[in-house]
């Protein structure tokens, strides 16, 4: 086990979460080749091996071979079972004790080029997960939503789950936040009508170790430019402000909600110390990692339809912290960990 993952697992175990509930359990993670899904698989597998808890991780992905390649180093004597499934097709009924539903498109250009497929993946995929949970009577389900479900917020008060703003239903890019809202309502409906023990987490922008080198999102573009001593080019003024979250802080938040969260509730997850504008994030990267050889350039000539409107997404994370969770890594730490891992 690499040192970074080992240290992260030690931090999770220090939170005094009831991890022993996972002994002899089967845990389904959808989106097992994604950033958060793969890190959940790795973490759960290693926690099971480290404590001899006989945890079986069902790693669900569209490409089984890709999942095996990504997780091979933490697959202990077959404790990871690989499921090759398409989210939009009904799942084979097999008992699992816990479900963490992470699978979802995340690239903004996909929201524009494939809005129908984006909606199908979010809504139909979530319904299939909830149907499996209902039929197998699992112990707990966590649905990964997004802070984008809040819509457009123009104030800087801390946001509680009910504090939602406007989403333009006629914008192609709205397929993602509207899809997340529908999926959240499905979760609440399955909890109310069928008593499915589902919890929802609205994650802040999450990144960190494990981000692919060719990731097209702005946080990855920023650090890639700085390392290569190239100017950081932004196509908006970067006025949107939001909170961020390290991948492993997201993993620990998900585990806290899965094991200690209240059924039918929505939890925000983000590091309140990271609240900053996109422009401020770019400036931090230039200052801390640019070696004085790059600068910020604003280029307004490009169509910005793939980007969400300016937002102020300051999340209220107190309910999550009351479960015993806290973030470990600020924005500078997250970037340092990305560089070390890559």
Q: In the numeric block, which tokens belong to residue 323?
A: 């479960």
Helix (H) / strand (E) element for 30: namely: strand 26-30
154-195: pLDDT as tens digits: 999 999 999 999 999 999 999 999 999 999 999 999 999 999
Q: Is residue 223 classed as helix, strand or coil in its secondary structure?
A: helix
More confident residue, 337 or 108: 337
Domain boundaries, the chain: 3-212+244-273+313-330
Q: Residue 286: helix, strand or coil by DSSP?
A: helix
What are all long-range contacts of 282-287, with beta carbons under 8 Å and residues at least 24 apart? 282/218, 282/222, 282/232, 282/234, 282/238, 284/331, 284/332, 284/335, 285/222, 285/223, 285/225, 285/226, 285/232, 285/335, 286/226, 286/232
Tell me the pTM: 0.94
> Got the DSSP string for 112-126?
HH-HHHHHIIIIIHH
Q: Look up residue 166 and give its DSSP letter.
A: B
Helix, strand, coil % in the chain, rounded to nearest 5: 45, 20, 35
Per residue in 243-253, pLDDT tens? 999 999 999 99
Please report which confidence band the pLDDT of residue 1 belongs to, taking 50, 70 and 90 as the band edges: very low
pLDDT score, position 308: 67
**CATH number of 3-212+244-273+313-330, picked from 3.40.50.720, 3.40.50.300, 3.50.50.60, 3.90.1170.30:** 3.40.50.720
Average pLDDT of 19-31?
97
The rounded distance, in Å, linking the Cα atoms of 159 and 314 is 6
Whole-number Cα distances in Å, 225 to 191, 216, 233, 254, 294: 45, 12, 9, 31, 8
User: Six-digit token pair at 275?
Assistant: 């609240």
**Residue 166 tokens, joined:** 């406007």
Cα separation, 284 vs 115, whole angstroms = 33
DSSP annotation of 209 reads T
Pair of tokens at residue 332? 């500078």
Q: What is the pLDDT of residues 195-253, one digit of tens each?
A: 999 999 999 999 998 888 788 888 999 999 999 999 999 988 899 999 999 999 999 99
Structure tokens at 110: 């996909």
Give the mean pLDDT of the chain.
94
* pLDDT computed for residue 303 by the predictor: 62
Which helix (DSSP H) or strand (DSSP E) does residue 80 occupy? Answer: strand 80-84
Tally of CA atoms within 13 A in the half-sphere of 115 that contains its CB? 11
Mean pLDDT of 304-321: 85
Q: Kindly list the distances between the CA atom of residue 281 and the CA atoms of 139, 213, 218, in Å, as whole numbers in the listed order.
A: 39, 19, 10
Strands 241-246 and 271-277: antiparallel
Q: Quickly count: other Cβ atoms within 10 Å of residue 287's Cβ.
A: 11
Tokens of 19: 């991890």
Q: Average pLDDT in the 327-333 region? A: 97
Rg (CA), the chain: 19
Measured distance CA(342)–CA(331) in Å, rounded = 17
């Amino acid at each position: 086990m690499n040192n970074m993952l080992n240290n992260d697992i030690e931090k999770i175990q220090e939170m005094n979460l009831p991890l022993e509930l996972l002994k002899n359990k089967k845990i389904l993670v959808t989106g097992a080749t994604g950033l958060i899904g793969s890190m959940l698989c790795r973490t759960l597998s290693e926690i099971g091996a480290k404590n001899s808890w006989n945890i079986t991780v069902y790693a669900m992905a569209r490409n089984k071979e890709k999942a095996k390649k990504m997780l091979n180093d933490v697959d202990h004597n077959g404790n990871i079972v690989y499921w090759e499934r398409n989210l939009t097709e009904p799942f084979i009924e097999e008992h699992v004790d816990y479900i963490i539903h992470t699978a979802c498109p995340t690239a903004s250009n996909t929201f524009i080029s494939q809005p129908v497929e984006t909606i199908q993946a979010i809504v139909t995929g979530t319904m299939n997960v909830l149907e499996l949970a209902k039929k197998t009577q699992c112990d707990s389900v966590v649905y990964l939503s997004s802070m984008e479900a809040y819509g457009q917020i123009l104030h800087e008060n801390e946001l509680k789950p009910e504090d939602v703003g406007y989403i333009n239903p006629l914008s192609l890019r709205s397929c993602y936040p509207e899809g997340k809202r529908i999926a959240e309502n499905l979760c609440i409906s399955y909890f109310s009508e069928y008593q499915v023990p589902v919890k929802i987490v609205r994650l802040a922008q999450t990144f960190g170790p494990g981000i692919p080198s060719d990731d097209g999102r702005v946080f990855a573009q920023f650090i890639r430019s700085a390392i290569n001593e190239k100017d950081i080019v932004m196509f908006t003024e970067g006025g949107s402000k939001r909170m961020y979250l390290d991948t492993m802080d997201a993993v620990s938040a998900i585990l806290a909600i899965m094991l200690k969260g209240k059924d039918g509730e929505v939890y925000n997850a983000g590091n309140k110390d990271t609240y900053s504008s996109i422009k401020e994030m770019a400036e931090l990267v230039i200052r801390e990692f640019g070696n004085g050889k790059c600068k910020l350039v604003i280029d307004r000539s490009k169509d910005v339809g793939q980007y969400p409107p300016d937002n102020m997404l300051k999340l209220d994370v107190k309910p999550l912290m009351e479960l015993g969770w806290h973030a470990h890594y600020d924005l500078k730490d997250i970037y340092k960990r990305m560089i070390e891992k890559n």
